Structure 1
């Protein structure tokens, strides 16, 4: 992982999946159009398919699900939909409230089996029971705001509506405390909650944000080579720690599968093993968290 390669992401780093809680219009397409119009290239929040593929292979393996219909909710300017298609999923519909984002993605990824639509995730126009699988990577987080989960709840209810019975929802979030919200909007069975390492670029950006003054744009770091190098080294250390935890989780999951141990997943209580590495080397600073959370839910009718 080269520092120069990592820093290439900074000019195309938008203003985050977490919407400004002081802006009640964050569900307005103009809010996101303004962001994506100023953002060049592609950017993936949290993780890419490289980090998430083991979850897909476990719960919806390509060999038996390549013909399934997939919905990517809030695709933004991420290459994730194209990565899913490249992996072998043949029918992918990606939606976003931003016309600017969808226009760019249509131009970049005009492929058979890939559909791009401007659509509000809280009021989709699809028929019910349309998709086998839905994926959200950061959109739920963007809709969260202090005091109300109105938009996040509406999105979840719409996803539940358009999924087929027994369909799966995979949610990727920065928070390990989303299960209560998820199960309050639709009848879901939670099959899995797991930590997932962030992509190298996302880890690097998290470390870099901790080193800049509050509110300073990340582009400022391009003028500080020493700071970039320090952030890159901390990112490498965090990724090594997460690789160890990933190996342990996979080993544990295989043992449980061999034993036929299946139960509904629950959130980890505070203080569980692994929390010590969640914040890197700076105690309780959540910005140094080197992982995201994956929730796998099944629609129950």
Structure 2
């Protein structure tokens, strides 16, 4: 039976500890390590001549070992009569001056300023386990009373967030200096704690310090790094704990689907600096014997690329790199990086702990990158949406060498919400997306992004291109449909690239966009060149409510209804669209709003195969003909749903051979911008289209 406490109340109960030590017997119980582990940092802050009060001593051998190396003025207190009696008996002959007393640490009988140091190993953690922390606060107040000026409270702790916050805030309010040492175990120590042990040192001044003195040291001899505010110190502690847990977990290896990741923060500012994601090779992969471990540094601005920002993409990256373990490192916005060599030097002391089991000692670990460059990113705007949180509008150089403007929500920084390509005014590039990789990337742009214009013929996402290709189902460009207007309802604005493309290139198109977030509309106008007019309107509001209202009003029909809207609920397993958009009752309203030739288009992103099957069955239950177009290497798929029963599987060859050519020609001939061409291959986008 385990002797460890089962509840917070037990952890801070005198009766519990009395029972604990009676059952434990004479065997020492060492919380968080013994003298050998702690002696380096203890000797640094406690002098042998100091009078030391050891609170919550238990039956630890630590005081005995300190006594044996010269600390002769130790007063040990514990709330348990059993442990005090036992420890006095054990030391009566060998250590006659080592005393143990049954004393409550929250109300001691000692005089003010009578000790130069207070030593606490695990007692704060036990007392702070109470919900309100009142017991721990009383103990810390008592510690402050009995310590003399210049005295130190030295506390060995696991630094759980509530515990360390309570202690640090308490001593900061008292005007004391606070320093934390993180004692990290060797990566190979199998029986070590998953969490690192911290030693908290709080020093009492004669006059309270007007500004907080907060410092963090890595290891017992690590140089102190000054930290400005308490939340930043807590963040740094949390990072070290996450790093230790990840390192411990990696000692036994992972599988190719684990995707363990860790964010490292700048120790001075507390802001995220690097995110490390561990990607192991697939089982059975033929990896060269020498290829144990490598670090891949993602160029700045490209961490949202599918290859680096998705688990599937990183899996492919690891397979092509052909190492047993690849650590993919992404750099964060709002951080300064000198060059690739400086980044490597900064990461080198950390990443070795993440090596796979069995890697030979002193093995050289290669750093991989794209052309040895850091990449380039310029944040042009930042803001906050009440609906979606913080966002960043930034210009980056892509893998093809071109410049792109992106909208990223920081709550999901691995996903690009919207993207436009930047080109010199009136000279938009005409090369197609599929040829981009042939252009060699450079480190920095030759032209300031502020002097560039947005390429209206560019569609940022493959699923947008598939949706545009789906207009072939309307037989656009054929003689019988020449000059026939096309009405479109699109739910989800983003940066506005898709609706503007439809307005500018689809013959006779008029588009109504429904967008829930007014901030997105303003961002689209200011930074993505979105310009509504009489053929492109925006309705601010909920897409569900707008479609319900249109269905209830009656009298208005659309040739195409498109859903390109993401879900804020990450627990469902479907990130596009929100669940309410694919309920049968709602889909029937969508059906009722389509013209006889109408087409419904749905961007579906669902990693749950069972849920995906259910969604497709709901759509098929409403629409007589449903086609699916997957995207290679991505989770996205686009469902193209016809209202007409005549559009069956036999019409697919027609899409590919006739309608695709007609639509391609129509898009090129209907260019209303005069400055750009549509960069899309309709036939390519419909290749592989299948019945859902």
Query: Which residue of structure 2 lines up, in the alignment, with residue 37 of structure 1?
Result: 22
Residues 57 and 76 in structure 2, CA contact (< 8 A), matched pair in contact too:
yes
Q: TM-score, normalised by structure 2?
A: 0.29
Q: Structure 1: how far apart are the matches of 2:221 and 2:112?
A: 38
| Of 108-117 and 128-137, the range deviating more from structure 2 | 108-117
Unaligned runs of 5+ in 1: 1-10, 204-231, 284-301
- Cα 1:52–1:237 change in 2 (3 A) is closer
Residue 118 of structure 2 corresponds to residue 130 of structure 1: no
User: Deviation of residue 249 (structure 1)?
Assistant: 3.8
More contact order relative to length (CA 8 Å, sep ≥ 6):
1
Instruction: Choose which of 53, 72, 87 in structure 2 pairs with 1:90.
Output: 72
Q: Relative to structure 1, is the Cα distance of residues 282 and 153 closer, same or farther in structure 2, using a 3 angstrom cutoff?
A: farther
Cα offset, 1:238, TM superposition? 7.4
1:112-144 superposed Cα distances (whole Å, 9 cap, x missing partner): 331110000111111111110001111111112
Query: Do the aligned partners of 1:70 and 1:92 also contact (CA within 8 Å) in 2?
Result: yes
Task: Report the alpha carbon displacement of residue 51 of structure 1 after superposing the two structures with TM.
Answer: 1.0
Cα RMSD of the aligned pairs, angstroms, is 3.6
Runs of 4+ in 1 over 4 A off after TM superposition: 236-239, 261-265
- Please tell me whether the aligned partners of residues 73 and 94 of structure 1 are also in contact (alpha carbons under 8 angstroms): yes
Q: Residues 224-266 of structure 1: CA distance to partner in whole angstroms, max 9, x if unpaired?
A: xxxxxxxx97337979x99xxxx9746642xx6xxxx877893
Decide which structure has the larger Cα Rg and report it: 2
CA distance in 1, matches of 2:241, 2:226: 22
- 1:281 corresponds in structure 2 to 249
1:235 is aligned to 191
Instruction: For residue 183 of structure 2, give the secondary structure of its aligned residue in structure 1.
Output: strand
Residue of structure 1 aligned with 2:55, choices 73, 80, 90? 73
Q: 1:250 to 1:233 in 2, by over 3 A?
A: closer
TM-superposed CA distance for 1:151, in Å, is 0.4
CA distance in 1, matches of 2:241, 2:71: 33
Shift in alpha-carbon separation, 1:99–1:275, aligned structure 2, 3 A? same
- Report how far residue 33 of structure 1 moved: 1.0
Counterpart position of 1:229: none
TM-superposed deviation, 1:195: 1.6
Distance 1:146 1:33 in 2: 18
TM-score, structure 1 as length reference? 0.63
Superposed counterparts of 1:207-218, under 5 Å: none
Aligned residue for 1:292? none
**How far apart, CA to CA, are the structure 2 residues paired with 1:237 and 1:126?**
35
Q: Deviations over 1:72-115 (max 9, x none)?
A: 10011111111111121111000000000101111112223311
Q: Distance in 1 between matches of 2:22 and 2:238?
A: 42
Structure 1 range deviating more: 185-194 or 27-36: 185-194
What stretches of structure 2 of length at least 5 have no aligned partner?
A: 198-216, 252-692
The residue aligned with 1:49 is 35
- The structure carrying a bigger strand percent of its residues is 2
* 1:107 paired residue number: 89
Residues 273, 236 of structure 1: CA spacing in aligned structure 2 closer, same or farther, 3 A cutoff?
closer
Q: Equivalents in 2 of 1:51, 1:270: separation in Å?
A: 19
CA distance in 1, matches of 2:221, 2:81: 43
In the TM superposition, what is the alpha-carbon distance from 1:161 to its structure 2 partner?
Answer: 0.7
SS of aligned partner of 2:17: helix
In 2, are the aligned partners of 1:176 and 1:268 still within 8 Å (CA)?
Answer: no
Determine if the alignment matches structure 1 residue 15 to structure 2 residue 4. Answer: yes
Evaluate the alpha carbon distance shift between residue 106 and residue 282 of structure 1 in structure 2; reply closer, same or farther with a 3 A threshold: same
